[in-house]
Amino acid sequence: MAHTDHRTMRSVLRREIAGTIGLLADEHDFRAMRRYRSFTFDDHPTYLRQVEDVLKNRAAHGGHTTLALFDPEDYAAYCAETGLDPDLPATRTRFTAELAGTGPTVPYDGGPLAALVPTLVDAAVRRATWEYATTLLTRLGPCPTCGEDIGRAAFTRASDLVVRILDTAPPGDRHLVCTVMGAPETLVSVLHGDEDTHGATRLDEAEALEFTSVLALGLATRSPGGLVLRTSAPGTADRVHGWRLRAGTLEPLTAAEVFDAYCTDADSGDLIAPEPGVDYCAPPDLGEGDTAPDHHH
């Protein structure tokens, strides 16, 4: 009887343990890990099926599991820094545990693993974009004229602009895209805002942080780019507004310019048929003159 009770208690305790699986989401990363003899999987599809079986089994027994992207290059750097043997399962477990605390993760919800992988990859890209933009903002340092931290001031201004865009947008769900062009690469950030039953806009905090950081970088570095807002509401045509990012400010596009931007192929320059059920509009006044700095940083 006591033995049965102990087994029951252990079973209950297992359900109290949260776990994280470091997922090798693509074939390239999977091949990189095969150089370790202790990594015994032969092919990527079989590996993914086994991971999904483990996830389903844990969920069936009441376990909570999150997924994190396992990056072989980051893993090798971690092992070099800590002096741990990379060819040990215990080392991979320790690395995955750190991912759970520092990197983006998504919870397993019982659905197909294939449906979760894009969400996990998006979260990782969003995190990397935010870290990259934040690093560049930090490197800008203080303004030589007034001593103000340029990156922090740009982030504050970008936050104010995002709030103004959302507050002045027509009712409905909002979809914003910010593009900042420059070396060594162009940054693109997306922000979704769903309108609840009370008319308030719900934002994902991580998305909002990344989006604001990218916009701040464009403002601070005076890089060319743009920002597009699309609003969707039941029973009405979608409305599209746009701004040009130039010389550290957001310049509103005319309705004709928004139309041209949406109806011209970016690569070939050929005209594209207008999307049905969409109105291309001049954006509302953001009062950008009130938010621009007194002098150029």
String of DSSP letters for 178-199: EEE--SS--EEEEEEEEE-TTS
pLDDT of the residue at 291: 47
- Arithmetic mean of pLDDT over the chain: 87
Give the distance from CA 162 to its chain's centroid.
17
Total of domains in the chain: 2
Which of 96, 111, 126 is the C-terminal boundary of a domain? 111
Domain membership of residue 132 (yes or no) is: no
At 246-273, the pLDDT tens digits run: 999 999 999 999 988 878 766 666 778 8
In the DSSP assignment, the letter for residue 266 is T
Both 194 and 265 in one domain: the answer is: yes
**Residues across the chain:** 297
Per-residue confidence at 290, pLDDT binned at 50, 70, 90? very low
Where in the sequence is the domain holding 7, given as residue range(s)? 2-111
Which of 111, 134, 169 is the C-terminal boundary of a domain? 111
Taking phi over 0 as left and psi of -120 to 50 as alpha, with beta for the rest, 248 belongs to left
pTM (2 decimals)? 0.78
Residue where the block lists tokens 């048929």: 273
Domain membership of residue 157 (yes or no) is: yes
Both 93 and 195 in one domain: the answer is: no
